[in-house]
Chains A and B, each alone.
Chain A
Amino acid sequence: MGYSWSESLLDSWNKIASFGPDLLHLIVMVILGFIVAWILKMVVRYLLTLIRFDVLSYRLGFSAALAKASINRTPTEVVGLVIYWCALFFFFMVALGTLNINAVDNLIASIFAYIPQFVIAVFVFLLGYFLSRFLSRAALIGLVNAQVRSARLVASLFQILILIFFLAMAIEQLGIARGIVVATFSISFGGVVLATAIAFGLGGKEIAKDILERRFKSVKEEKAKPDEFSHL
């Protein structure tokens, strides 16, 4: 019982005293994080305004995507906010690291290790989104010019298929239930293709008939009576 209450109190005080500087570090880092994140946000916004990022986003359909998601901010503001929160998150992680707690250190290490995968997944998804829009628009115009009925439906299906494909790749990249994602994607993709085939053959037999008729009849008819309209 040589360990008196006064020693215990002193021991606690020493622990708090040694933890104090770390805590101070944490507070300073968080405050610094807020300041740096705010500065970064403003710099990014300024640069994006300079390169007319909002106009570019409008052309790429990014603005439309934001509107669809009920985000009432300009693309420049959205990117600025993303940068702000990313910077803040980074500083918060670094600040936690100053506490020298093993469990926290391990958590931070695993989070930082996960960031590249997350960034790649976001990039893959965005790429898929823009690609799907571009290709479905090309398909829609091509189908309309070829006078294929239900061009819009076919182009939309085409866009959904591309989006599903890229979404599956993004989730796979994140490593979330890989086996389930691959299986789900295979089943969904196969299902969509099969459903499209059945719908096309049964529900959409008129469309199929129309396309096939155009494909084969037009060649025959045009050979019999060519259109002599010379455009140039």
Chain B
Amino acid sequence: MKEVDILVGIPSFNNARTIPHVVRAVSAGLAKYFPKHRTLLVNSDGGSTDGTPELVQKTILEDLDILLMEHPLYPVHKIVTPYHGLPGKGSAFRTIFRIARALNAKACAVVDSDLRSITPEWIELLIEPVLLHGYDFVAPYYKRHKYDGTITNSIVYPLSRALYGKRIRQPIGGDFGFSGSLANHYLQKKVYDTDVARFGIDIWMTTTAVADGFRTCQSFLGAKIHQAKDPGADLSDMLVQVVGSVFHLMEAYQEVWAKVSSSEAVKEFGFQFEVGLEPIHVNLERMLDNFKHGVTDLIPIWQKILSNDVLVQLKETTALNVMEFRFPIELWVKIVYDFTLAYHRRTMSRTHMLKSLTPLYLGRCVSFVNETVDSDAEEVEDKIEALCREFETQKIYLLTNWEKGKRS
């Protein structure tokens, strides 16, 4: 095999329960929607011990006639390979990018191996904008439960949108389409020994595509239902890796985001529809307890990051009980911007600083749940939209203070 037209990568680590479904959906999507193209499925595995690579090898499509309009000209080839480097999704992606470059792939996609809701249509929606419409980067757009993806909704989406001016709703969605040239561009970057190699890869891919001027769009994929994350995955570690990656990219792309003053919608593909999502259980008491605990004990640390008026407002909120607790969006946006500034100025160890954001983030989550307890999906989107606008309004605060700290 010297060349392929389409490559779909699946990073994995101990996903034996879900990966057969993902492989079947990808294979069906390639066979059904791209029957005349040379296609390849790459599984980049991080050393699974539950037989994940073997399952990928074994999984085949059955009942082709139910799915297919016409028989494919080429079979879907598979490569199952371990990746090298730091353990994490980013290193798995690097292997996928390398194979894409070696085989001169025209269009690529990556999908998570823990997906339960992936269908063959996802492959069409992630690949077609690249192959037929000349886009370089396709972000996913899902319907998710209103309390799902809270780091995305409260920090990453509004902040990325305010910074780079593109309304990409799920910048850390995890399932992307991209062109061969963008894969090659990703490989040129020397980031694979940082947090990008772990949880940070998704936001890095999106930001790099947007900030480096590649044509971007998003495709509506329907519901995103995936296997619950490893409970051992610590929230503060997630924040360090994801939010740290956003902040780190701000250093690299300062010239780009400093010139952006508003945001614009990106082209959307896919037929939008409402999906039913199962209710999820949230322990508000515990989250609020964590927030209050932070306000009691972490003030000496936050004093180096946050302004005095923010600290005063934080202390005031601790008097509220769980039902009446509110964390105003103006306060939250100011806090996030203060953290970006502190990160930029290296006020203290960046890891410590980002980990100390955890109680504040949980406080904002409690408030968001309270604000949207009776809201439907549309009303929740309105709330998120209001938060995004607040990030855009307060961006001037970030800009005016960005250089100040460096001079002091």
Contact = CB atoms under 8 A, between A and B. Distances in A.
B356 A227 contact: no
B77 interface: no
B293 A228 contact: no
Interface string A151-186: 110000000000000000000000000000000000
A138 B356 CA distance: 9
Contacts of B149: 230-232
Nearest to B235: A231
Contacts of B190: none
A149 B293 CA distance: 8
B276 to A, nearest CB: 16
Contacts of B359: 144-145
B274 interface: no
Contact of B283 (A134, A141, A227): A227
* Chain A, interface residues (CB within 8 Å), range: 20 to 34
Contacts of B199: 232
B408 A140 contact: no
A141 B355 contact: yes
Instruction: Give the most central of A58, A134, A144: most B CB within 10 Å.
Output: A144
B318 to A, nearest CB: 14
Contacts of A147: 286, 289-290, 293
Interface residues on B, range: 35 or more
A142 interface: yes
Nearest to B151: A231
B348 A145 contact: no
A225 B281 contact: yes
A222 interface: yes
B17 interface: no
A55 B408 contact: yes
Nearest to B278: A228
A25 interface: no
B147 A140 contact: no
A157 to B, nearest CB: 14
Nearest to A223: B231
A216 to B, nearest CB: 15
Given A140-B298, A144-B293, A151-B293, A222 B235 contact: no
B280 interface: yes
A29 to B, nearest CB: 41
Nearest to A60: B348
Given A59-B346, A230-B148, A230-B228, A141 B352 contact: yes
Nearest to A54: B408
Contacts of A231: 149-151, 235, 238
Interface string A214-232: 0000000010011111111
B44 interface: no
B282 interface: yes
B355 A142 contact: yes
Q: Which has the most chain A C-beta neighbours within 10 Å: B228, B235, B293? A: B293
26 contacts: A55-B345, A137-B348, A137-B349, A138-B349, A141-B355, A144-B293, A144-B294, A144-B297, A144-B298, A145-B355, A145-B358, A145-B359, A147-B286, A147-B289, A225-B281, A227-B283, A227-B286, A228-B280, A228-B282, A229-B148, A229-B282, A230-B228, A231-B150, A231-B235, A232-B151, A232-B152
Interface of A: 55, 58-59, 134, 137-138, 140-142, 144-145, 147, 149, 151-152, 222, 225-232
